[in-house]
Structure 1
Amino acid sequence: MEQGAKSRGGRPWSFDRDQAIEIAMRLFWRHGYEGVSIGDLTKAIGVAPPSLYAAFGSKAGLYLEALNRYEQTLGLLDVTSIGSATSLAEAVRRLLEAAVKAVTHPDRELGCMISSGMIACHSEHAPLARDAASRRDAMRKRIAQALRPFADKNEVHRLARHLAAVMQGISIQARDGATRAELQEIIEDVVSGVAARFPRARRRR
């Protein structure tokens, strides 16, 4: 879809709005919200600031659209990876291995845009930080729901909070350069702990 806005001379600036969101997503993912300026965005997208503001309202508006794009596509929590797992430990392994694969994918930016996003920011960006926290909380709830067939409600919610923290740490370590093999060691430790704590947690029929 083409988005137009007029330059000072009256000539319309046109750009592909969908492509602009994709470019912005990559920039914000790599550098964080505060690490990307309007100048960075307009240069990468190839438009003047008035066109950007006309299309998205503000840098924050573009960031939220980029975050939505990420969450709905590349950052979607792959709970389907649990698949036909028959035990809680196996389900946890599959979930964490899918997470590691996502944050170390060679064709993408490292880490998770949601897990690592807006952890610390200027007070004027507090609404964006609250939005990021809300998305992380929703992710934790999806983990709990995915593990519900293996244990009771209280157990899976407690475990989901633990796994969400592990995934957040995995995301940060991936950004710091940890390899998939190194992150797999973390998975092995977590899975061993789950197996020891829930030795009889099998999929309920």
Structure 2
Amino acid sequence: MTIMETLPNRPSGRPREFDRDAALDAAMRLFWRRGYEGVSFQQLTATLGVAAASLYAAFGNKAALYREALDRYAQLRGELCMDEASTLREAVHLLLDDTARGLVDPNGEIGCMLNTGMIVSHTDLAQELVQRRSAFRTLLAEKLLNWVTAPDADRLSRYITAVIQGLAIQARDGYSLDELQQAVTLALNAVPATTPLARL
């Protein structure tokens, strides 16, 4: 991934311009692949091809860069593709199948940055990831209100989130898309084949 861009008509010997967006994308993919604690600041500067001073000036410290990388990841993978479903089970299938495909998409990195980027740590960032995962579950519960009551949406969102987190770990362990989709099919057996109750 290119993160340095040569401006047109630049005199020879003049330094290249730092491309912040491209650097953020490259950092996101590095964190996504190796996790927060698996990436050193030295690895970041080497991967992005910039001096530490430029990286500090653009993003601050490693934790601040990671937060921005999480935001960029959410932009790429944060949409819940459920709105076109006519039944609860169809909605859950759309979400889980899309998740499975995304976890092993060759255009991205294996796994889920939100669920596997930092599991055990005593840093503030670890707590922030807990909050981000909780926010995802809350959003999912709100979506499920299209088909079920609030108590059922809360319970079902916890179950679906657990399935998604399991899929993310299995993707990291090398499971194929077909194997992930088999797990999705079995998981759907626990989802009631209901009419959209909240729309009646």
TM-score, length basis structure 1? 0.85
| CA-CA distance at 1:83 after TM superposition | 3.2
Percent identical pairs in the alignment equals 44
Structure 2 residue 75 is the aligned partner of structure 1 residue 72: yes
The 2-side partners of 1:142 and 1:120 are apart by 24
| CA-CA distance at 1:179 after TM superposition | 0.8
- Aligned twin of 1:6: none
- Aligned twin of 1:103: 103
> What letter is aligned with 1:29?
W
Tell me, yes or no, if the aligned pair for 1:93 and 1:191 is still in contact at 8 Å: yes
- Aligned twin of 1:22: 25
- Aligned twin of 1:49: 52
The 1-side partners of 2:31 and 2:112 are apart by 11
The 1-side partners of 2:124 and 2:194 are apart by 43
> What letter is aligned with 1:39?
Q
- Aligned twin of 1:146: 143
The 1-side partners of 2:84 and 2:61 are apart by 45
Tell me, yes or no, if the aligned pair for 2:34 and 2:117 is still in contact at 8 Å: no
The 2-side partners of 1:61 and 1:84 are apart by 36
The 2-side partners of 1:16 and 1:85 are apart by 40
Matched position secondary structure for 1:60: helix
Matched position secondary structure for 2:18: strand
Q: Give the unaligned 5+ runs of structure 2.
A: 5-13
| CA-CA distance at 1:57 after TM superposition | 1.3
| CA-CA distance at 1:12 after TM superposition | 7.0
The 2-side partners of 1:115 and 1:37 are apart by 20
| CA-CA distance at 1:192 after TM superposition | 1.2
Tell me, yes or no, if the aligned pair for 2:89 and 2:194 is still in contact at 8 Å: no
Q: Give the unaligned 5+ runs of structure 1.
A: 3-10
> What letter is aligned with 2:176?
T
> What letter is aligned with 2:180?
L
| CA-CA distance at 1:118 after TM superposition | 1.2
Matched position secondary structure for 2:101: helix
TM-score, length basis structure 2? 0.87
Aligned length: 188
| CA-CA distance at 1:120 after TM superposition | 1.2
The 1-side partners of 2:194 and 2:66 are apart by 44
- Aligned twin of 2:89: 89
The 2-side partners of 1:200 and 1:46 are apart by 54
CA-to-aligned-CA distance 1:83-110 (integer Å, 9 cap, x gap):
3322211111111111111111111101
